[in-house]
Every structure is written in C-alpha cells, then in structure tokens.
Structure 1
Amino acid sequence: MTAASSLDLLHPTLTHHVVNTLGWPALRPLQREALAPLTAGEDAVLLAPTAGGKTEAALFPLLTAMARDGWDGVSLLYVCPLKALLNNLLPRVQSYAGWLGRTAALWHGDVTAAARRRILRDRPDVLLTTPESLEAMLVSTKVDHRAFLGGVRAVVVDEVHAFASDDRGWHLLAVLERLTRLCGRPVQRVGLSATVGNPRDLLTWLQGSGAGTRPGRVVAPGVRPPTAPPPDQGPPPGEVELDYVGSPENAATVIAALHRGEKRLVFCDSRQLVERIGAALRARGTTVFLSHASLSVDERRRAEQAFAEARDCVIVATSTLELGIDVGDLDRVVQVNAPGTVASFLQRIGRTGRRADTTRNCLFLALHEPGLLGAAGLLRLWGRHWVEPVHPTPEPRHIVAQQLLALCLQESQVGERLWAEWWDGLEPFGHGEPVLAHLLREGFLTRDGGMLLVGPEAERRFGRRHFAELTGVFTAPPEFTVLHGRTEIGRTNPALLAAAEPGEGPRRLLLAGRSWAVTWVDWKRRRCFVDPVDDGGGSARWDAAGHTGWSFELARAVREVLLGADPPVKLTRRAADALAKARDRHADHVHADGTVVTRGGGGVRWWTWAGTRANLTLRATLTGLVDPAQRVGDTGLRLCGDTDPARWRAVREAAVDRVALPQVDDRALEGLKFTAALPRHLAERTLAARLADVAGARAVLAEPTRFVVGE
C-alpha cells in the first residue's frame, strides 16, 4: 500500500491534520499497515519498538470508523497498565478526537468524584482507563453500567504484553468478556506491544473467547520474526557498554561524572537501590529526581515534570518509567545490574535515540558478580535477537473466584446455571465449578431460588468501601504514609518505624532521595510525620516484589559467558577483569555439554545453570537426593552428602517422567489475593504451577552430568 493510498483510508479531516497539524508527509509503515484491518473491524496486535507510533496506528483508524459509522457515547476504551501512562496520553488523545469533534476523558483511581460525575453526565467518545477502574464501573451503584458502557465498539490495550504476563491480564480478559455480553455484540480488540517472541500467541490470548471465530492479525512491519537469525547477523543497533563498579556509591560516582550536561535515566531493580543511588547522586551535587511505586503520586509527577523540563540532570527509577511515559528527550539510559528480561531491556534502551542525530544507547553498571553475570548473559541473548515469549500466568483460579463475586455484585443476582455464559468459554472459567462450590460452602456466595447472590463472608472480607478490594488482583503489604506537614512524600515499611534504642535519637527514613527524621507515628491510621535532615543517615526498606530469578534461557546464557563467550558489547577494563575472575572461580562448575556435580569443602552441589523456577521444580522432583531445606537460586542445588554417581544416575533417570511441582508455603499463599475464596489445595496448586518450570527441569534431567571431586 502506498503512502497516498493509505491516507485515503483515513477520515478526510484526520488526513488534513496529519499532514498540516502534525506535519507528517506520510504515515509510518505500522500506521499504514494497520489502517485496512482496523477500519474493517478486525482484532489485531500492533508490534513496534518504543516510540514506534503505535498509539496513532490504533487511534487513527478507530476514530475513522467512529466517524464513518456514527459511533455514539462511550464507544472506544483505551486501557493502560499505569495511571501515569494514561495521564501522559490524555492530551494527545483529546487532540486527535477533537479534530473530529469528538471528546476524550480520563477515569482511574486518582480522578476526583466530581470529574467522574461530569463524565457520567457528559459522556466522552473515548475513555482512557485501567482494568481496575473498568471493573469498578461495572460493580458501582453510582454508574448505570449498561447505559454508560453498552455502546462500546472497540478497546485498545496499550502495553498488552505487560498485561499478558501476570494476573492483571486474566482479570482484563474476564472484564472484557463481561463487557462484550453487556454490549450484545463483539467488541474489537487492539493490542499495542513492544517486541515479543510469540506475537501470534499474544493475539490469540487477547481475543479471548473470540479466538478462532473472529478475524485477527499481527501487524509488525520491519520486526524480525521470532526465529534464529542467520549466523552472520550482528547484534541489534545501539551503543551498549558493560562496566563493573562494585557498589551503589561507585555507581553514583560514575553516573555523576559521565555525560554531564545531558539528560540521563537510570534504571534500578529495587526501590531501596533507587533511594540509595538517588541520595548518593544528590550528595555529589547532581540534580536528581526519583520515581518508584512507593513515592506519592504528586512526588512522582513533580519529579517527572521537572526532569522533562531540565537538561543536565538524572532521574533514577524502577520499572515505573520503563513503559511509554514521556519524560522528555533523553540522552542516555543507565542500567544498574540487569533487568529480568530482554524485553525489558528493549523497552529501556528504546527510550533513547529518538532524535534524528542520536543513537540508542545503554550503559550497564554491575554492582556485584551476579549482577555482572546477569547483564552479560542478557546481552548475549539480545545479541542473538532473542526475545522472551509472553506466557499468561497458569491456572488463575483466584481470578475465577474474584470474577464470580464481582459478577454477582454487578448483576445483583446471577442464575446458578447461567453464570458461565458471561465468560463464553474463556479458558479459566471452563473449570470453575469447584471454585463456585467453595464460595457457596464458605458463605462468599449464597443461593436463593436458583440464583447466586453475594454472601455474608464476602461482605465481611471484601465489603469495605463498596467492595473496593475486589477490583484489584494483587495484594500489597501494609505500608505507612509518610507526611511532611500536609505534604505526602510516599510510603514506607512499618518495620522502620519501631521505637529507637535509648540514645539513638529519632528514626530516620530515606525517601525521595532525602533523609527524614521521624517526629511522630500514628499507628492506628498508619501515618508517620517527618522533618528533613541534612546530615543523611536514613534507611529505606520495602518488602521484595516477587522476583523469580533468572529464566532457564538467561541462566544458560550466563553459562556461555562463564565458558568464555563475551557479550557483543563494549566491555570496560573493570568489567573484563571481573568477568575473568568469575570464570576462574566457576571453572569447575560449568560444562558445555551438560551439568556438573562437585564434591568438596562446600559439600555436594549440582551446578544446573537452569534458573530459579527450574531448580525449584528439580528440588521437588528429586526428593531424597536434594537437600529439601535449602534456599533455591539460579545456579544449582545442594545435594545430600551421600550422593554418588551410581545413585545419582538411578534417581535422575527415574525422575525424568515424573517431574513434580514445587511446594508452596503459607507466606507464599498470603501473597495470592483472594486465597480465602479458594479451597486450600486449589490455591496451593495455582501457586505451585506459577513457581514451576517443568520444561526446563526436564531439559536438565536429560543432560549428561560430570562429577568433579576435590573442589
């Protein structure tokens, strides 16, 4: 399709503004190729790197269809995983809709009640929202959900890969199925995604119950199919460097000294590390801003706005800034240690190189040996053009329980033989009868004349603020709000607020990159009040956010590095020296054709290089051979002291065909929201399936093993 003929598919007014207001001589390839299928009503996944024009590729054809077919009322939903991303997108979407005389509005948890009332009174044509807010509209007594949402024709799901890889994805699909039934017609689904390894599977997942019955396609011009590249293909474009610095303070020294006068975005893998590096940069006189999930909304907005308007500065963030939030024109990305996936790295490096005279770039700063090896392994995978496939979380029974309760709230009562029709065969609901039986048995639901109603146990556990707890699918550990006067700074772990020992003085917190002295703690209302202090010394702490360790593929790439393969990037002398030391230390732990068992002063250890989930699966499978009490990591397992080659071979060969799921403890169950609405054995099976890597465990069991004595 030529540029001219593609513009002919757009509404004439849109074409005028694309050429004259935006100043575009033509659409980008993705935008051209998306026009025909989207204006024809097809489902689609649009694939492009960061800043690839995906939003316009979805909105321009859907706005064309809206004008052409006379869509009325709230007819287009734009769903994002982050409220900040919605805030960022709103002005752009309002402009595009306004060109056609249409309106757009924002509805999420930070939108005021007055603004929501205006939206209900004057319905916009395009509504930007989150899945949780969409659920809240469906169950709210203040929203006539049939009148308000019954005219929806299409849904755009931005960052769809981020949804698909966790429970929010199943929640979103379940809510879209209920919405489709309300509308009484198929609702077009369009997903926007960065590069993933299995885009066709992602499209099938997004289509939900409509997969196989509705037309759909992947639109990905210029994106290489997820197959192995030719042997002579070099790494992807970009200036990437790997350095070893040894500590957060050294990282701050390097960041402060390099690329002065430029705008730098630094990614860290924890909130504690963001705070520590942010404080160290501020102590070195660098203009620095912070962004992570435990900072207040206003604090993050101030930081992001100031960073967008400044030049010589640094913003330090967790993955909150990985997605497409606009923080202005970046010069540099710095990655401390390594992200968990190649897909995350592609998102992050894609924040740079957007100007015509610049190149995508990323500097890795490793703080320790695991960080160095993880970065080197990830860059090996990136150099091969490999990207992880996106897999939905398995066996989401707790989402089935949540949805049954939410549907009964939405409809007041639901026929006990008709409830499944609301999800039209969507995979998790095909086996929902045991979950329903438990909800009835425990009083979460009651039965009256063949109808299902919300029961007293659901009222007791989830009924506060009209069941607000039901709209989110993740649990959050209790945190205390930190206030300076009336200004909220953020939230902290209550363990940091315990009374100080005599003579220690007041407790000090590290938050927003500054140290604060705690002046008073309101334990009942979970608030603490603070004053700033200039001499540092604050502490930052939050509960870990469910890190699952290296994947099987990443662990194997790390093994390649230890066997001598360098990542296809520039290595500083410090990084090269640290890699050489790591290779020496692990010389007896790696073998190119299989795994290694070592016996020595450290006991008997099996070096699998299989990743945490595969190793958890192997620990559950090789009972009697593997120490059951050990803490499992990425590199291997501790074996019982009497393990010898003969016993090893016998147990391993017998285990290949009976791989077991990992065991689940009570603390893990507490992290699964709506566990109380499931029978314990089903909750345990759900979590065990998520902790397992059966394919990786089987691959390891099938490999030969070398025994090394005298480590």
Structure 2
Amino acid sequence: MSIFERYAPFIQDYIYRSNWESLRAIQAAAGDAIFNTDQNVLLTASTASGKTEAAFFPILTLFSEDMPRSVGAIYIGPLKALINDQFMRLNDLCEEADIPVWHWHGDVAQSHKNKMLKKPSGILQITPESLEAMMLRKHALIPKLFGDLRFIVIDEIHSLMRGDRGGQTICLIERLCRMAGADPRRIGLSATIGDPSAAGEFLSYGTNRGTVIPKIENKGTRWRISMEHFYISQQNMPDEKTDSDAISALDEKTDTAPEHADKGMAYIFEHTRGKKCLVFVNSREECEAVTTTLRSYCEARHEPDRFLIHHGNLSAAYRETAEQAMKDEDVFMTTCTTATLELGIDIGRLERAFQIDAPFTVSSFLQRMGRTGRRDLPPEMWFVIREELPEPRSMLPETVPWKLIQGIALIQVYLEERWVEPPKLDRLPFSLLYHQTMSTLASCGELTPAALASKVLSLKFFHRITSADYRTLLRHLLEIEHIQLTEEGGLIIGLAGERIVNSFKFYAVFQENEEYTVRWGSQELGTIVMPPPVGEKIAIAGHVWIVEEVDHKRRLVYCEQIKGKVPAYFGDCPGDINTKILLRMREVLREDKSYPYLMNNAVGRLKQARATSRNSGLTETPLICLGGNMWCLFPWLGTYAFFAMERFLKLKCADRLGLRGMDSSRPYYIQFTMKVSPQEFFAVLNEEAEKEFDPMELIYPGEVPVFEKYDEFLPEVLVKKGFAYGILGIDEMKSRIKEWEGKIN
C-alpha cells in the first residue's frame, strides 16, 4: 500500500482539492516513518516543502482510525504568529474529520481556552511559555487533558536548540508526560538543521525511543541573491555608484536633511515599489529606525505609506495587521521585521526579501531567504550592507568592511559545504535549573528536598548538573527566601519566590527587559524599555511620538504622534557568530575569487578590503602593529572563543606582556598597547595556554557574569561556573594559540 493509499479518505480528498499531482518527498518519507515505526521522527527539508502537512497527514489518519480520549497531539511553535498561521491551515484540514484544533497563547480569548478545558480533544497548538503557564495553573487537569497524548510536534526545532528556551521545552514535555502518564512520540520539523544526529538526540531527550531521520533528496533550487554596499553619508563616495537614476531623482525631490541622505534606504525604497517584500534587520531598534526612514521617503515623494512593521515589542494588533496585509494577494506592501517573521508563517506570494547588513548565522540567512520563493517563484534576497564612512585617519581594523565580508562568508560556507550551525547542547543550564525547580515546586506543592531533586535532576536536559551543585542552589534559595522549609522538613515556595512565580513574566526563560506599554489614546502601540521623561520623543510602530505622561506604577506611557526621527531602544541584541564564519571571512579576504551576486559598489569595496588586507598582512599575521606600541590581534574566532581570548589576555598574559588599553570589536579584532615584541607575545601566549588552569580563573575579580534571565537568583559560584564551563570557548581558543606557535616558529 502506498503512503497516499494509507492516508484517511478526508486527507486524500484534501490532496485532490489542492490539485497536487503527487506527494512530495518529505511527505512520503514522513508517512513511512510515522506509519511504520514507533520511533521519534526528525523531518528536515527546505522551507515551504510541506513539512507541517507531512507530519499531520499520518497523525490525523491514525486519529481518524482510533480517536484519542484526550488531546491527542500537541504542536509546539516558537512564535504566536506561527501558531496563528498553522491554526488556520490545520482547521481547514481537520474540519471534515471532526477533529478539533485548539490554539493557546497570550493573545487567544479565554472562551476558546475554556472550551478545550471542558472537552480536551484533537490537536493543541501552544508556545513553550503558554505550556509552562498551563503546567503551573492547570496542574490538576494535566492527566485529564493529556492522558491519551500520542504525538508532540515541535516546529522550527532549530530555533529552540541554542539556549534555555529549548531546554525549557524539553523539560516541560518530560514533566507533562510523567504527570499525564502518557508516552507520546515526538516529531521535530526544521529547514535548517546543522547536525541532524545531534538534533535527533536532543529531540529524544527523556524518552526510550530513538529518532528516525529520513534522508530526503531536495530538488536543486535556483537562488536569486544580490549584495550591494553603501556608505552611510550625505554624499556618495567618488567611486560609489547608485543603482539607478531613480535614486538620484529621489534625492532631487527630497530635502537635504540627514534622514534623506541614506543611499541604502533609498535603494530599498525604490526596489520595493509595486512589490510585496520583507526587509529583515538584526534588532528592534533598527527595525523602528528603518521603518521611520522609509516612511519619510513616502512623505517626501507625496506617496501613500506602503511600509508596515513587525517585531516582538509591538502589540498583537499591529503584528496581525502586518501579517494579514502580507497575505492579501492584492496588497503590495513591504514589512520591516526582525526574526518574528523569519520562521514558518506563510505570508503569501512574496517577491523578494531584503537583509540589512549580515545576519549572525547561516541558519537565519536560510530562514529569511526561505520566506520568499513560494508558489513556484525562486527564493530571492537582496543584501544591503551599510557602513559608516571611515575617517581619513582611521586605523587599519576600522577600514575593513566587516559586515560585507561576513555576509559573503555566510553565503559561501553554505553554497560550498551546505554547512549550518550545529546545536550547542553542552552548556551548564543553571538559570533554567532555577526556573524548573521553582516551577516544579509551585505546581506540585510541598516536596522533600530528596523528592524535589529526584523530579528535577532526572530531567534529561540537566544531565550535566551534579547533586552537589543542586544542593548549593537549594541552600542559596533558602537563604534568599525563594523557597522555605516547613516544620515537617518539606520545601515550599517562599515569600520572595512567590513574587517571581506569580508574575506572568515567569513563564518565559529568555531575557526580557522591564517594559512599559505605550498608548496613543485608547490604542496600544507596543512596549518600550525605560521610557524617557515627559516631553521627550520615542519611536515605535514606525512613527515618532512625544511622551505626554508616564505612569510608572502601572507601567504605561501616553503619547501623541509627531513628525521627525529618533532612535528607538528595546534592550541589547547580542549576536552569536560561529568560528566557521570567521575563518571563511579570512578566506574571503585572502582569495581573488569573484562572487556573481556582488553588485558594483560591493565589488569595489571588496577590492579595497582585499588590497588593505594584502598590504597589512592581516590574514597571514594575526598580530599587526598599528604604529608605535599600538597593536591589533585578529583571532578569527567565533563569539564565545573570542570571549575566552579577551579574558585570557587580560587575566593570564597582561602583566607579562605589559598589555594595556585593551579594546575589542567582537568578534573581529582586539586592540591594545604592549611593551614586548611579536615573538615574545606569541611565546607568552603559548606558554600560558599550555599550563593547566581552571576555566573559573577566566572570571574577572569581583565579576558575576550574569548571562541568562535567572542568573541573578543563583549563588555566585554557580553563575561563574555556568559561564566558565558552558559559555567560554576555551578549547577553541587554545587550539588557535597552538596554530600561531607553529606559524611564528
């Protein structure tokens, strides 16, 4: 029997109605794995390849043959927008079979949730944070809701494998299954998995099953990629050419104010006209600034506003307006966005995506480009690399266009090797350990220390945590009254802990800044961090507003819209770049290879950068003299190994080298002054690196390196240990120093 024949009749009818001539490879492979094994399944295939249907066609078929007596499948999505989108798609599919589909997150009406609680059935779509809230607030109902749970589908699983949020998801699944007495199979979906076997191991954490990873031959896809470079200045450089006469004409029709002098923005403005596009940026601040600038161009040209905005700090109404407009086939608008539109949501027939500067990861590049290329169009992405014009007296490292080189490296490493960042699963997740300890205690009530330790440390994600470290944590939590000891010797949530656990912010393990809701009359615009005083300006929702009132008690900001431009601030947005990318960046500067996707300005800027590199020797000699006793080190290391190198130089080598005034541009270079020769520099580094030392020695005196959300509630020794052993890339750093020794000698 073929996979198609095995599907339930209503699935077959759906396929006929959709005019599919055959099943896609991913659907045939998923059907075979789900129907013919009892293992977990990891489905990896390109964006828009039909992974969701591939997972749910066999699941719904099995349900139609034997309907679960509770919720039968949980779909965990990383974003509300993705859940809303999949809810509509699954509803259409399940209607005929009378299989309910429920969605559950902070923007869903309570009436919808109550219906599911009264009659648990079908499929539940939920975010990790809402699942955490359900485990806490509906603890007693878990057996009723999930007693016959058979499948857990985790969408965009790659997005959950680089931090505590993925660990939280796996812990919640394990806890839920124990409480419900269920043993569901897990199905992971992703378009960008760098190490499938590691991802399969992660997916199976805490189960007695292995993971089937079908090998799917993807058809070759033709990409349309371009990359152009612009200086952020009022005038073009003499050798810099604008892309078209239209941009020059645009400048003539606008005033000469700085906000109209950005050639990169003008380039995007002209090439989105009459098209449906996304403009990706790497931070919420930049998202606001770019939207404001593009809208100012509309105003200067007396054109209707054709730019929307979408990021995590906007209200649900603003986000949904952008999503609906992008789905409308007759609306040709452009949305400026962060990673919130990077994942799975189908937003219709997009013609192209723009990326301002380089993203931090290959995974992000692939996801963002994958938003286009649906409905038989090739994926299309235009990189717009913007760089501040170097001052005439700028030193060497500042004259290298790092973002341009990074963008090229990201593309090349995938084209040449199909390489994507592997998951990082070797951290010591003490912040998450605190969170799951408090969550377990809050949901279960009083537990003996032994029972609590048994429940928490037996969760597979904490396999690197020792009993001794856990005792250290519990003693500290008793001291700060986050937990307390009862007369019977049990543990319960303490007074200070209740304030944490009872806040809605407790459900999330990712970092959140203290936010204020911004209102314009009765309309909610979104949230900002630390509002300015009354009378100052803020940027949000793509417009500029003047603050009229700040209610600190209720965390509300009231404002009125005005014209103008002002930076937005939502909190820091750090990037995590892999060493593989830095090494490919070095090769970009070394090689004479041309890249067909580079446009005129980018070709010229790369040529300059390569000449600078050859003249200075920066790709061959890691240490370059900038004049006098000023030096610059180019380690070609990723973010966390670069962290280790900075600390190693300061704490282990500085005195012997006479090293002072260290200044870093992570993860590209480190500048400093020193009193020794290059030969002595490398000899000292190698000598110190060969000594055995505890990673804890790379913590600065008096430093408590708070890195994750709940680190502030941990004993200092565990914060330091988690950073030293789980964050710093010490082995990679030592390996690079060893390479240098060979070259210098």
Q: TM-score with structure 2 length normalisation?
A: 0.85
Q: CA deviation at 1:591?
A: 5.6
- Whole-angstrom CA distance in 1 between matches of 2:179 and 2:539: 48
Query: Contact 1:480–1:494 at 8 Å: present in 2 too?
Result: yes
- Equivalence for 2:569: 541
- Whole-angstrom CA distance in 2 between matches of 1:669 and 1:652: 24
- Equivalence for 2:502: 464
- Whole-angstrom CA distance in 2 between matches of 1:645 and 1:129: 57
Q: Please state if 1:652 is matched with 2:688.
A: no
Q: Please state if 1:127 is matched with 2:124.
A: yes
- Equivalence for 1:519: 548
Query: Contact 1:31–1:57 at 8 Å: present in 2 too?
Result: yes
Query: Contact 2:448–2:491 at 8 Å: present in 1 too?
Result: no
Query: Contact 1:509–1:540 at 8 Å: present in 2 too?
Result: yes
Q: Please state if 1:633 is matched with 2:666.
A: yes
Q: CA deviation at 1:417?
A: 2.9
Query: Contact 1:376–1:566 at 8 Å: present in 2 too?
Result: no
- Equivalence for 1:304: 323
Query: Contact 2:660–2:674 at 8 Å: present in 1 too?
Result: no
The 5-angstrom pairing of residues 277-288 of structure 1 reads 277-285=290-298, 287-288=306-307
- Whole-angstrom CA distance in 2 between matches of 1:591 and 1:538: 38
Q: Compute the RMSD of aligned alpha carbons.
A: 2.7
- Whole-angstrom CA distance in 2 between matches of 1:265 and 1:521: 33
- Equivalence for 2:250: none
Query: Contact 1:400–1:429 at 8 Å: present in 2 too?
Result: no
2:45 to 27, 42, 48: 48
- Whole-angstrom CA distance in 1 between matches of 2:109 and 2:703: 36
- Whole-angstrom CA distance in 2 between matches of 1:11 and 1:265: 38
- Equivalence for 1:239: 224
Amino acid at match of 1:324: G
Q: CA deviation at 1:663?
A: 3.0
- Whole-angstrom CA distance in 2 between matches of 1:563 and 1:417: 59
Query: Contact 2:69–2:121 at 8 Å: present in 1 too?
Result: no
SS of the equivalent of 2:206 reads helix
Q: CA deviation at 1:278?
A: 1.2
Aligned in 2, Cα 1:259/1:461: closer, same or farther, shift over 3 Å?
closer
The percent identity for this pair of structures is 26
2:152 to 140, 152, 155: 155
1:253 to 266, 269, 273: 266
Amino acid at match of 1:453: L
- Equivalence for 1:367: 386
2:33 to 24, 31, 37: 37
Q: Please state if 1:479 is matched with 2:518.
A: no
- Whole-angstrom CA distance in 2 between matches of 1:617 and 1:588: 29
Q: CA deviation at 1:370?
A: 2.5
SS of the equivalent of 1:340 reads coil
Q: Please state if 1:674 is matched with 2:710.
A: yes
SS of the equivalent of 2:653 reads coil
Aligned in 2, Cα 1:89/1:221: closer, same or farther, shift over 3 Å?
same
- Equivalence for 2:396: none
Q: Please state if 1:79 is matched with 2:108.
A: no
Query: Contact 1:238–1:360 at 8 Å: present in 2 too?
Result: yes
Amino acid at match of 1:360: P
- Equivalence for 1:403: 436
- Whole-angstrom CA distance in 2 between matches of 1:65 and 1:666: 59
Query: Contact 1:597–1:706 at 8 Å: present in 2 too?
Result: no
2:723 to 687, 707, 710: 687
Query: Contact 2:279–2:337 at 8 Å: present in 1 too?
Result: yes
- Whole-angstrom CA distance in 1 between matches of 2:463 and 2:496: 20
Q: Please state if 1:696 is matched with 2:723.
A: no
Aligned in 2, Cα 1:318/1:676: closer, same or farther, shift over 3 Å?
closer
SS of the equivalent of 2:559 reads strand
| Matched length | 680
Q: CA deviation at 1:295?
A: 1.4
Amino acid at match of 2:227: L
Of stretches 407-416 and 57-66 in structure 1, the one that deviates more from structure 2 is 407-416
1:428 to 452, 462, 476: 462
Q: CA deviation at 1:449?
A: 7.6
Query: Contact 1:120–1:143 at 8 Å: present in 2 too?
Result: no
SS of the equivalent of 2:212 reads strand
- Whole-angstrom CA distance in 2 between matches of 1:628 and 1:144: 60
- Whole-angstrom CA distance in 1 between matches of 2:618 and 2:125: 52
Q: Please state if 1:67 is matched with 2:68.
A: no
Amino acid at match of 1:149: F
Q: CA deviation at 1:565?
A: 4.3
1:587 to 610, 614, 626: 614
Unaligned runs of 5+ in 1: 225-234, 500-505
- Whole-angstrom CA distance in 1 between matches of 2:187 and 2:470: 31
Of stretches 4-13 and 319-328 in structure 1, the one that deviates more from structure 2 is 4-13
- Equivalence for 2:342: 322
Q: Deviations over 1:269-300 (max 9, x none)?
A: 11222122212211222511011112111111
Query: Contact 1:266–1:333 at 8 Å: present in 2 too?
Result: yes
Aligned in 2, Cα 1:396/1:455: closer, same or farther, shift over 3 Å?
same
Amino acid at match of 2:524: E
The 5-angstrom pairing of residues 439-450 of structure 1 reads 439-440=474-475, 441-442=478-479, 443-448=481-486
Query: Contact 2:433–2:462 at 8 Å: present in 1 too?
Result: yes
- Whole-angstrom CA distance in 2 between matches of 1:272 and 1:605: 30
- Whole-angstrom CA distance in 2 between matches of 1:265 and 1:667: 42
Of stretches 248-257 and 597-606 in structure 1, the one that deviates more from structure 2 is 597-606
Q: TM-score with structure 1 length normalisation?
A: 0.89
Aligned in 2, Cα 1:176/1:666: closer, same or farther, shift over 3 Å?
farther
- Whole-angstrom CA distance in 2 between matches of 1:639 and 1:609: 17
- Whole-angstrom CA distance in 1 between matches of 2:712 and 2:454: 25
- Whole-angstrom CA distance in 1 between matches of 2:325 and 2:221: 32
SS of the equivalent of 2:262 reads helix
Q: CA deviation at 1:685?
A: 1.9
Q: Deviations over 1:520-565 (max 9, x none)?
A: 22232221111122x31333122212323x3211111111121134
2:365 to 339, 342, 345: 345
Query: Contact 1:413–1:452 at 8 Å: present in 2 too?
Result: yes
Amino acid at match of 2:187: V
Q: CA deviation at 1:205?
A: 0.8
- Whole-angstrom CA distance in 2 between matches of 1:650 and 1:437: 40
Query: Contact 2:194–2:422 at 8 Å: present in 1 too?
Result: yes
Query: Contact 2:428–2:465 at 8 Å: present in 1 too?
Result: no
2:95 to 98, 109, 124: 98
